[in-house]
Amino acid sequence: MGAALVAAVIVVVVVRRLRGEPLNARDLFGPPVVLTALGVWALWQRHDLHHDLGPGDYVWIAAGAALGVVTGALRGATVRVEPRGGVLWQRYTGWTFLVAALSLGLMVAFSFLAEHAGLPADARPTQLSIGVGFLGEALVVGWRGLVSGVPFAPERHGLSTQLGSGRSDRPRRQQR
């Protein structure tokens, strides 16, 4: 179930950002925080793992997280941040996907090195890697938005607007 949730979050985020979406703090930081928390939780749940990890393993885990943040930040530099209707919008570009592909290659190579250095596979949760990557992207996009001088978009309310249907924007029928 965890993998399906992670995949669903990633698909929703990427599709929305590919077509362009208003830039607000909740949508920008929500998915990375959730995915990172799930990754930390997955790591923590490995009860026997806590006793099996040594200081060198924690260095590999921290280095992998740092690499994820840096590659995410590079990806964030390629996201188009522009004003529309008086608020900020964000949209993925072709460069975003190129950097994402290169980042994936780097993360796979790093994971291979960590495995050969003896870091257990359970100490490298996918949710953590993806979450810190999105966090690095969010930090750069958020910073670019702040220095632009254009306000962030207001928070959207309701599931239908978060999924993009806009149904909650329609006037409600008066009740009798």
Tell me the per-residue pLDDT of 130-170, one tens digit each, with 9 for 90 and over. Answer: 899 999 999 999 999 999 999 999 987 654 444 444 433 43
The pLDDT > 90 percentage for the chain reads 50
Sheet holding 21-22, edge to edge: 21-22, 87-91, 80-84
Q: What per-residue confidence (pLDDT) applies to 49? A: 54
Q: Looking at 1-15, 22-36, 50-64, 69-83, which range is the least confident one?
A: 1-15
User: Do residues 22 and 153 make contact, with C-beta atoms less than 8 angstroms apart?
Assistant: yes
What integer pLDDT is reported at residue 164 of this predicted model? 47
**What is d(CA 110, CA 87) in angstroms, rounded to the nearest whole number?**
39
- The per-residue pLDDT for range 10-27, each reduced to its tens digit, is 888 888 888 899 999 998
Burial class (CB in 10 A: 0-12, 13-18, 19+), 88: buried
Phi/psi at 82 (nearest 5 deg)? Answer: -145, 155
Summary mean pLDDT of the chain: 83
Question: Is the pLDDT score of 34 beyond 80?
Answer: yes
139's tokens = 């930090």
